[in-house]
Structure 1
Amino acid sequence: MSETEVAVAPHPLLLADGRPAAEAWSLDPALRHLNHGSFGAVPLVAQERQAELRAEMERAPVVWFPELPQRLAATRVELADFLRVDAGDLALVPNASAGASVVYNALTRRRGGEIVVTDHGYGAVTMGAERLARRWGGRVRTARVPLGADEDMAYEAVVAEMGAATDLVVVDQITSATARRLPVERIGAEARRRGVPMLVDGAHASGLLAAPLADAPYDFWTGNLHKWGCAPRGTAVLVAHGPLRDLLHPLIDSWGAQDPYPDRFDQQGTLDATSYLAAPTSLAFVEHTWGWTAARLYMDRLADHAAHVIGAAFERLTGESSRADVGMPVPGMRLVRLPDGLGRTRIDADALRDRVARELAVEAAFTSFDGIGYLRVSAHVYNTPADYEYFAEQCVPVLGAWALESRH
């Protein structure tokens, strides 16, 4: 990113009583929390609501569990309203990867057993696709999508891997490692034209996009609410359209196994479902405090500012460009290219994340794509411009030194 580009720092968000937004969370003030996208962060009101629900469960478990399916069904209506989908299409699952596993377990080989994925896919979901292909006696075909590919290029790269043997297409709506969109609507329309089921991994989409399932021309969509939606961890949804949804069953068979979709997902033995029940509290907290539209706008402007100040700091240090040419950028997330020698592989990037947390007291996301390491900015309402200015001033010089060390 060039230092001549200007990204105006937004005014930090405040609570209704004038306190900083971060005071609505229990995040450790001794750390800088700059990686909302990986595990999310749960506001105190939702933590308190979940604690109340757990206490209710423990006071009378024989009352709690028989009544739980009805309560979960009512919760699904609230979550479906937030996502702007039909509650009858929405099932509750622990995370997006679990939603993908439900789909993988349901489908059977109909053609040649080939599954199309992209090289931007989330590792666990891609591993699941590979396991399914082995079970089918087929194979995975990987569409190579350049980081800077625009909508047309990305669409063409994925469609080029489809053929007469394709039994499933799996594409991220927002990619985890590369913080970009993929044209899932266009790809889904083509897959439907060919009669091929499509699974969209929308792990990062709920809350970050206003209506991630608008006019969705695909069979399955799974997304986390514990990321941008700030719900308690272990809260995600699986949305299914069309006749294939009747094949979907929860990963654990329970007494609701013979119920129709999605009701059979509401009864899962003695699993703690309080995260689902507390999820609407998180969504309502953001809406009532700032409004989701304003929150998304703030996160996007803050991510712009973060990428500018951190990128400029790296450029001053190395004399090299830190720009990441992302073809279909998303709100609230940005990539900043790291100096050569840092984060070249996923394992290296994870090790860098752990070292930065341990030695610099900063929770940050580092990713890798095509042999290049990146800092992934993922801002939320509790972050402020000062968070990223601190990173630029205090952490960038250290990262530069580590990069030099790695090259010697």
Structure 2
Amino acid sequence: MSESHLGPAPRPLLLSDGRAAAQAWSLDPAQRHLNHGSFGAVPLVAQDEQDRLRREMERSPLVWFPALPARVATARADIAAFLGVAVEDLALVPNASGGASVVYANLPVGRGGEILVTDHGYGAVTMGAQRLARRCGATVRTVRIPLDAGEKQAYEAVVAELDDATELIVVDHITSATARRMPVERIGSEARRRGIPLLVDGAHVPGLIDDPLSAVECDFWIGNLHKFGCAPRGTSALVARGALRDSLYPLIDSWGAADPFPERFDTQGTVDVTSYLAAPTALDFIERTWGWKTARTYMRDLADYAERIVGEAFAELTGGSCEVDVGMPVNALRLVRLPEGLATSPAAADALRDRVARELGVAAAFTCFDAVGYIRLSTHVYNTAADFEYFAERCVPVLGEWARTADAAA
């Protein structure tokens, strides 16, 4: 594979002192980290800040916890500014699934009502919708959206399933398993026109999309700061707008229960929320070192290169194209189709992830949609073209052999 055919690889980002960007993280150098999108990676400066905060907490808990709500409110204001939303609309929760659980626990859904989800939805969020339906005597309706559906087709597929029984729509901003966007802007406008509450799962969005809610009309939006935002894990935003906002309460009743939204979320007893307080340090680190605009551009360009080089390597094995049209692509996430026989179910995809990490020393995400297996490539500022070239040259042939072995066993 010549560089002229694949296009030039983007030049790696460097720290201000000339060192490789990866030196600002504590990631194991013996492993190739190609899956930032699943669990994120926390830069050392944010790890150090969280460690400092924990030491402060343990030195004097009696001083720490009474003062904590005010400190959470300050961090919340910084995060709201990063997302471009009003601070009075944003509460902090441990993760996107936790934010969805808050909505499910507080939203009135009547017996006989319907909750609309899509077949691209994140499993835990969809399971929460199903539990809400069972509790309320409602039903869950799943919208089938082709992987390659463009904005218009995906929008029309959702709208076609709306009726008088629809009491909640749940749709991803960026999907996890299929690495694509959904037309949440158009869906939100239609949901608002019909008076149907909309929950947007934006788990992957913070850091990937600038001003992500500027054109989105929705009642609830959830986004993880600990994915592409690189905040300490357990830091997510729950944005609520409109009349239903004041009906939201934390899953844990604490002494802030009588406070208005979102202040009531700032008090959660003795829960360790140092991740919230250290999140602005991580966001500021990216901004000061490269700037978020530069970081997003680099992630996109590297993802383009990674998709081409890995796709070409698989194509040489299979004899056919492994390119995937996801309809509405995402700047730092890409899908490449795997050889037949690999990751043909969610359980098989997880097993392949574990085997690749164990035997090949590569942290990668494997997904399944409609019984077809994919590798989901994910980039961040600490990744370089060499990471994906290594996977294409060293790992793709092994995966091809595993696929042939699986076919032979079948």
SS in structure 2 of the partner of residue 340 of structure 1 = coil
Tell me how far apart the structure 1 counterparts of residues 5 and 206 of structure 2 sit (CA, whole Å).
30
Report the equivalent of 1:254.
254
> What is the DSSP-based 3-state SS (H/G/I as helix, E as strand, rest coil) of the residue aligned with 2:373?
strand
Corresponding residue SS for 2:226: coil
Tell me which residue corresponds to 2:372.
372
- 1:282 counterpart SS class: helix
Q: What does the per-residue CA deviation read over 1:121-147, in whole Å, with 9 as the maximum and x for residues that have no partner? A: 000000000111111211111110001
3-state SS in 2 of match to 1:12: coil
What does residue range 226-241 of structure 1 map to in structure 2 within 5 Å?
226-241=226-241
Task: Give the whole-Å Cα distance in 1 for the aligned partners of 2:57 and 2:258.
Answer: 25
TM-superposed deviation, 1:161: 1.2
Alignment of 1:162-241 (within 5 A): 162-241=162-241
Q: Which amino acid aligns with 1:68?
A: L
Is 2:264 aligned against 1:264? yes
- Note the 1:287-298 alignment, pairs <5 A: 287-298=287-298
Q: 2:104 corresponds to which residue?
A: 104
SS of the equivalent of 2:164 reads coil
Contact 2:173 2:205 in 1 (8 A): yes
Equivalent residue, structure 2, for 1:329: 329
- 1:68 equivalent to 2:68? Answer yes
Secondary structure in 2 matching 1:243: coil
In 2, Cα distance between the equivalents of 1:4 and 1:152?
Answer: 35
Q: Secondary structure at the match of 2:48?
A: helix
Cα deviation per residue 1:269-310 (whole Å; 9 max; x = unaligned)?
Answer: 000010000000000000000000000000000001001111
Q: Which amino acid aligns with 2:380?
A: H
Counterpart code for 1:300 = R
Q: Given that residues 111 and 137 in structure 2 are in contact (C-alpha distance below 8 angstroms), is that contact kept between their aligned partners in structure 1? A: no
1:110, CA displacement in angstroms?
4.5
Is the Cα–Cα contact under 8 Å of residues 14 and 20 in structure 1 kept in the other structure? Answer: yes
The worse-fitting range, judged by mean Cα deviation, of 42-51 and 214-223 is 214-223
Cα RMSD (Å) of the superposition?
1.4
**Post-superposition shift, 1:3?**
10
Give yes or no for contact 1:102–1:250 (8 Å, CA) kept in 2.
Answer: yes
Residue 216 of structure 1: how far off its partner (Å) = 2.1
Q: Does residue 124 of the first structure (1) align with residue 124 of the second (2)?
A: yes
**Which residue identity lines up with residue 138 of structure 2 in the other structure?**
G
Distance in 2 (CA, whole Å) between partners of 1:204 and 1:109 is 27
- The answer to whether the Cα contact below 8 Å between 1:2 and 1:321 also exists between their aligned partners in 2 is no
Read off the aligned partner of 1:152 and give its amino acid letter. Answer: K
Cα distance in 2 between the residues matched to 1:7 and 1:102: 46
Task: Quote how far apart the aligned CAs of 1:317 are.
Answer: 1.3
Contact 2:110 2:136 in 1 (8 A): no
Per-residue CA distance 1:375-403 (angstroms, 9 max, x = gap):
10110000000000000000000000000
Change (3 A) 1:5 1:141: farther
Q: What is the number of residues matched between the two proteins?
A: 408
Given residue 113 of structure 1, which amino acid in structure 2 is its aligned partner? G
Q: 1:184, 1:200 within 8 Å by CA — same for their partners in 2?
A: yes
Bigger shift: 172-181 or 319-328? 319-328
Partner of 2:13: 13
Using the aligned pairs only, state the percent identity.
Answer: 68
Contact 1:250 1:264 in 2 (8 A): yes
Unaligned runs of 5+ in 1: none
TM-score if structure 1 supplies the norm length? Answer: 0.98
Task: Determine if contact 1:3/1:308 at 8 Å carries over to the other structure.
Answer: no
State the distance in 2 between where 1:58 and 1:275 align.
15
Aligned residue for 1:334, secondary structure, equals strand
Deviates more, 1:272-281 or 1:135-144: 135-144
Q: Structure 2-normalised TM-score?
A: 0.98
| 1:85 aligned residue | 85
Give yes or no for contact 1:21–1:382 (8 Å, CA) kept in 2. Answer: yes
For 1:407, what is the secondary structure of its paired residue? helix
SS of aligned partner of 1:249: coil
Distance change (3 Å), C-alpha of 1:7 and 1:179: farther
Residue number in structure 2 paired with 1:54: 54
Which residue number corresponds to residue 384 of structure 2? 384
Change (3 A) 1:18 1:3: closer
Q: Which residue of 2 aligns with 1:273?
A: 273
